[in-house]
Structure 1
Amino acid sequence: MKTKSFTFSRSRYPFFLLLLLGILFDVQGQDFLYGDPLPDAPELAARGPYGVGVRTMQLVNPDQIDILNSKNGKEARYDRPLTIEIWYPASIAPSTPASVTYHEVMGTRGDSLRPLLPFEFKGRALRDAEPVKAAQPFPLVVVSHGYVGSRYLMTYLTENLASKGYVVVAIDHTDSTFKDANAFYSTLLNRAKDIRFVINAMADLGKKDPKGQLGRLIDGNHVGIIGYSMGGYGVLNVAGAGYSDGLTAFFGQMTGGSRAIAELAASNSDYQNQGDQRIKAVVAFAPWGMERGVWDLEGLKGLRTPTFFVAGDQDDISGYEKGIKAIYEGAINAERYLLTYKNARHNVAPNPPPAEALRPGLHIDEYYRYAEPSWDQRKINNINQHFVTAFLGTHLKGEDHSLYLNIPENSNEKDWPGFKPRSSTGMELLHAAGKAE
């Protein structure tokens, strides 16, 4: 019996090559989760020695100004609900898969009113895992998302830090998430207040946690705060950069005369007395506000906590030269760094776009809520993991990461330490020491 021969013609070659590459990508992609290291990931992007547990907690900040329902000069009050997600070092048996499913939505109930589309993605953590038994508690890191966003916007970073010995708490800011976005002035008023409240609540958790397991892990005297976009707007204020009187006036115009935000202004003596010595480090990804007059030079002088800024030099939301870089230059009393991704825009902090955002027919903003037009988001994630690890390790744990922080400014001139050969292109890292007033 004659067997039929198969001729692999040139015309069929591209088709079969693409098919083979598609199969390989699909097989390999099944195991590649947000935050996993690419082949060229810098050294400190790798996960740490701890298993990672995760749990959800509901908090209530009592008797807050209800700015959305305050009218005609009469201040309404309410108990403000906040959902938080906590990642922590956990005891996980080697035979137990550390896997979790995060439930999220695309779209927004904010000004654009795009339909909410549920999706889910996997992470490398175990829900409600038993906290590790440790001789010493771990530094606390509080994470604040952008407008709009959610507590799951940066899981590549929150999981990674927990694996390295931090208790990491990400906030769902009420009126500011994909699911419940409301008038912007609620975010202006509440962002810094939420962060400060969560720091206090977590520092007190040892007294309030009925099991006492998670609370004993938290070192509330060594705190780092991380914010992206409006989260950056919030963490800088919590760390001492008081808002300008111009913002107070603008807020009054938006709200029909309310001066509620004046308590966060640099000109308010009560604000000046709110300094929090527990906060040892700030990471501000693309902080919003400088171009809009949120800070002036006097307000920025109040920032004295070591701060690591991350920006794209084409940021069209927060601005670069007159925005993020201007904050970096004006915060003269803080030791500070500015990591700049050349040709990147605003999205230098989030997870990569979910697979669902690639579906034809969706609004492009579902994709551009996450993606950077000139960079692979996974590479940005790995670089962020590397530098945030070095920075927080220095200021929260007393580790020596000078090798990775005291480096040439221009990454194109010479390979940066910790980066694989030829992989550290297209970036700049500026560093300035704080001045004593």
Structure 2
Amino acid sequence: MKNPVPVFLKNTCTITALLLFLCATLSLQAQDFLYGDALPDAPQLAERGDYTVGVRTLELIHKDQVDILNSKGGKDPLYDRPLTIEVWYPSEAPDKKGNTVIYEDVMGTRGDSLRPLIPFSFKGKAYRDATPKATTEGYPLIVVSHGYVGSRYLMTYLTENLASKGYVVVSIDHTDSTFKDANAFQSTLLNRAKDIQFVINTIADKGSSSSKDQLSGMVDSENIGIVGYSMGGYGVLNVAGAGYSDGLTAFFGQMTGGSTAISALAASNASYQKQIDPRIKAVVAFAPWGMERGVWDANGLGGLKKPTLFVAGDQDDISGYEKGIKAIYKGAVNADRYLLTYKNARHNVAPNPPPAEALQPGLHIDEYYRYAEPSWDQRKINNINQHFLTAFLGIYLKNADYSAYLSLPKESNDQDWHGFKPRSSTGMQLLHAKASEANMKQ
């Protein structure tokens, strides 16, 4: 018979284990983990950059826009459309511990019978209204468009991260499409692309060397990237050259009593391709909506000629995958394009993690599933997105040599992907297709 372990030793071991557990828990709490912070298994390019980040809020007015919510019988009244934007940028602020900003947002939708509005706040790592860091050439501009519904704060893990790497990053609150003011869908259909292009033009002007704005001299407007999620993906693809189908214009007319306002964004409109902004050099579309609803056809997708990174979950039940996002990827034959797929993920491959308030018992499950993925840690998705967007945007907006991070085996389960820690790159696929020969000769 073996000698039994003395009782006092058993108790000592138990107490020691308990103390170690409590210390580890307190240590994690003390770190005050912020959205976008790198997890231990974060890929190489997920880390924040060398710049401290400033942030400011701007109120813009897009004058003389079609007031589609009050359109009747094909007559489109005009109004001055308000837009709130958030701007993140490299700053002169010192890198002090605890340099956090508080973002104020809401969950719910409109506060009516859908889901009541629930205010919440969360911390970010930026200085409010900090002095911009001077630059002789300007920083590339990135404009970010949220989903329906959403807000300009939906992807702060990404906007802060990119600003810390030398970009001016602007995220839009799309009027009639946020948690606070969600309205009839025809406003989002019409205004999404228009808002994005307006903000590009406005920030390019404010960031020019001749401007008297605080952003004067900060923006390299010849190198612009556009990033959209869900309905934001719908918008950025159109801004980049994927004109809408005649089927969408007909559907839009039925929704609005005969309005033809969206026809200006259709591939069949002879003037549409003349609107494509040559300053846009890269596009990122997270879970872009619309393909399964006939928003694009072969002609429309053929107009997309900008380098594009698509990001999707192969179980997306909002935008669809095989007949949705992947079909867009396959149909955009004139673009150098990538498709990063999270296996077993649904639609939420872009947002921040769920706020603490979304974890409270008794709330509608959609408050949680507006942000969370059922089979993935959202923080891990965030880190992977930071990694791949740093590589993709760095190549096309900064001429950086990040090609090794995109030249990967198709399946991440087959071998460790470059830039990932051993055994950490599981459950993903990366496809790459070059532009057609005909487009390359143009």
Q: TM-score normalised by the shorter chain: which range applies?
A: over 0.9
Moved more, 252-261 or 385-394: 252-261
148-157 vs 213-222, which deviates more?
Answer: 213-222
Cα offset for 1:208? Answer: 10
Tell me the CA shift for residue 395 of structure 1. Answer: 0.1
Query: CA separation in 1, counterparts of 2:360 and 2:21?
Result: 20
Tell me, yes or no, if the aligned pair for 2:309 and 2:338 is still in contact at 8 Å: yes
Pairing 1:169-248 to 2, within 5 Å after superposition: 169-206=170-207, 211-248=212-249
Could you tell me how far apart the structure 2 residues matched to 1:184 and 1:54 are?
Answer: 30
Please state whether the residue corresponding to 2:272 is helix, strand or coil.
Answer: helix
Residues 255 and 127 from structure 1, CA distance in 2 versus in 1: closer, same or farther, beyond 3 angstroms?
same
Q: Note the 1:103-118 alignment, pairs <5 A.
A: 103-109=104-110, 113-118=114-119
1:275-290 equivalences under 5 Å are 275-290=276-291
User: How far 1:288 moved relative to its partner?
Assistant: 0.2
1:273 aligned counterpart, secondary structure: helix
Using the size of structure 2 for normalisation, the TM-score is: 0.93
Query: Does structure 2 conserve the Cα–Cα contact (< 8 Å) formed by 1:140 and 1:224?
Result: yes
SS of the aligned residue for 1:215 comes to coil
Q: 1:221 to 1:61 in 2, by over 3 A?
A: same
State the Cα distance separating 1:20 from its structure 2 match.
6.8
> 2:4 aligns to what?
none
Q: 1:25 aligns to what?
A: 25
Is the CA contact (8 Å cut-off) linking 2:211 and 2:217 kept in structure 1? no
Quote the offset at 1:29 in angstroms: 3.5
Question: Are 2:356 and 1:322 aligned?
Answer: no
| Contact map agreement 1:310 1:339 (CA 8 A) in 2 | yes
- Cα distance change on mapping 1:157 and 1:64 into 2, 3 Å: same
Q: Name the SS of the counterpart of 1:115 in structure 2.
A: strand
| Structure 2 match to 1:87 | 88
* Matching residue of 1:77: 78
For 1:36 and 1:96, the matched residues in 2 are separated by: 14
What is the alpha-carbon distance in structure 2 between the residues aligned to residue 42 and residue 24 of structure 1? 23
Q: CA deviation at 1:237?
A: 0.1
SS at match of 1:52: strand
- For 1:173, the aligned partner's letter is H
**2:333 partner amino acid:** I
2:101 is aligned to: 100
Label 1:16 to 1:238 Cα distance change in 2 as closer, same or farther (>3 A): farther
Structure 2 Cα separation of the partners of residues 402 and 279 of structure 1? 20
Quickly say closer, same or farther: Cα 1:112–1:367, change in 2 above 3 A: farther
Contact 1:53 1:130 in 2 (8 A): yes
Q: Distance in 2 between matches of 1:155 and 1:213?
A: 22
For residues 164-198 of structure 1, the C-alpha deviation after alignment (integer angstroms, 9 at most, x for no partner) is 00000000000000000000110000000000000
Q: Shift of residue 22 of structure 1?
A: 6.6
String of CA shifts for 1:27-69, please: whole Å, max 9, x gaps: 4135210000000000000111100000000000000000001
CA, structure 1 residues 228+418, in 2 after alignment: closer, same or farther (shift >3 Å)?
same
**Partner residue of 1:364?**
365
Q: Provide the residue aligned with 2:49 in structure 1.
A: 48
Counterpart-to-counterpart distance in 1, 2:17 and 2:357: 25
CA distance in 1, matches of 2:16, 2:119: 35
**Higher mean C-alpha displacement, 28-37 vs 88-97:** 88-97
In structure 2, the gaps of 5 or more residues are: 1-6
User: Which residue does 1:128 correspond to in 2?
Assistant: 129
Q: Go from structure 1 to structure 2 and tell me whether the alpha carbon gap of 1:96 and 1:417 turns closer, same or farther (over 3 Å shift).
A: closer
User: Which residue does 2:429 correspond to in 1?
Assistant: 428
- Cα displacement (A) at 1:76: 1.1
Query: Where does structure 1 lack aligned partners over 5 or more consecutive residues?
Result: none
8 A contact 1:209–1:215 mirrored in 2: yes
**Contact 1:54/1:85, CA 8 A, preserved across alignment:** yes
Q: Distance in 1 between matches of 2:364 and 2:8?
A: 44
- Residue aligning to 1:66: 67
- Equivalent position of 1:333 in the other structure: 334
Contact 1:110 1:181 in 2 (8 A): no
Residue 416 of structure 2: aligned partner: 415
| TM-score normalised to structure 1 length | 0.94
**Cα gap change, 1:370 to 1:424, in 2 (>3 Å):** same
Identity %: 72
Higher deviation after alignment, 216-225 or 96-105: 96-105
- AA aligned opposite 2:29: G
CA distance in structure 1 between the partners assigned to 2:419 and 2:77 by the alignment: 53
3-state SS of 1:204 partner: helix
Equivalent pairs counted in the alignment come to 431
8 Å Cα contact 1:52-1:98 kept in structure 2? no
Q: Say if 1:73 and 1:26 are closer, same or farther in 2 by CA, change over 3 A.
A: farther
- Structure 1 position 213, deviation (Å): 3.5
- 1:28 to 1:206, Cα distance in 2 relative to 1, 3 A: same
Q: What is the aligned partner in structure 2 of residue 271 from structure 1?
A: 272
Helix, strand or coil at the partner of 1:141: strand
User: Distance between the aligned counterparts of 2:342 and 2:367, measured in 1?
Assistant: 22
Shift of 1:17: 7.0
- Structure 1 residue runs of 4 or more that deviate by more than 3 Å after TM superposition: 5-10, 15-27, 94-97, 206-213
